Amino acid sequence: MNYNSYIYGRWIKLGIVALVVIILAVTSISSYNGLVAADQQVQKAWSTVESMMQRRADVISNQVETVKGYVQHEEKVVSEIAAARAVLYDNYSDIDSKIAADEQLAAAGRSMLALVENYPELKADTLFENLQTVIEGSENRVSVARKDFIDAVQAYNTKVTKFPGNIFAKLMGFEKKDYFRASPGAQEAPKVDFGN
């Protein structure tokens, strides 16, 4: 073996090692940036869900003010709405608490709409009719925001669990995120007691 072949062989080996290191570095950086972008998308989607829940809370509160004059003896529904709004506006509440409060608010809003059936003069009120339309729009917006959040979580979780992203995710501390789940009993229709 001559000296030039030996040097040439070493440079080839060194070049291969450098190429592998560069490929690993680029893959690591790309995986990390992809995970960060997916995490940011999840946070953005959750912020949208919160925003839509707060909008709905505001609309339902306006509806309560309209209805108060007609249904003064239905204080329970009004207090449930106020309690749920307080949790939604508390920035320190965790996601599960906000989801539960949102479901409580939605149920109280449905109860309020059910109460209206007993007050024909309220149903004829133009302001109330407009509020009902706005509430329906708010419900649709919340539903779309929840779907977008679920889609963002799915994309993030796919990156965190799919090879080779799962290796980098584990090394860099990225963990799977929970999907939006309704609280137990959220699918049940609210029970409205008219004192009969």
Domains of the chain: 3-172 (1.20.1440.20)
Would you state the structure tokens that stand for residue 101, as one six-digit string?
Answer: 């409060």
Nearest to 88 by CA among 52, 123, 126, 62: 52
pLDDT value at position 107? 77
Q: Quick check: 85 pLDDT over 80?
A: no
State residue 174's pLDDT score.
95
Gap between the Cα atoms of 53 and 60, Å rounded: 10
pLDDT tens digits for range 148-193 = 999 999 999 999 999 888 998 999 999 999 988 766 555 554 443 4
Q: What pLDDT score was predicted for residue 193?
A: 42
> Residue 188's pLDDT is what?
53
What pLDDT was estimated at residue 54? 84
- pLDDT above 70 as % of the chain: 71
Contact, 53 vs 146, CB < 8 A? no
Please tell me whether residue 182 adopts helix, strand or coil conformation: coil
Whole-angstrom distance, CA of residue 27 vs CA of residue 156: 17
Rounded to the nearest 5°, which phi and psi values hold at 183?
A: -65, 155
Mean pLDDT of 9-14: 91
Which long-range CB contacts under 8 A does 91-96 form with residues at least 24 apart? 95/46, 95/178
Q: Tell me, yes or no, if the pTM score tops 0.75.
A: no
Query: Would you state the pLDDT for residue 192?
Result: 39
The per-residue pLDDT for 55 is 86
pLDDT higher for 81 or 59? 59
13 has pLDDT over 90: yes
Bigger pLDDT: 116 vs 36: 36
Peptide bond before residue 120 is cis, with ω within 30 degrees of 0: no
- Judged against a pLDDT cut of 90, whether residue 139 lies above it is answered with no
Question: How far is 80 from 106, CA to CA, in rounded Å?
Answer: 10
Residue with tokens 């790309």: 30
What pLDDT score does 47 carry?
A: 92
Average of pLDDT values for 106-118? 71
Residue pair 180/149 in contact (Cβ under 8 Å)? The answer is: yes
pLDDT over 50 at 195, yes or no: no
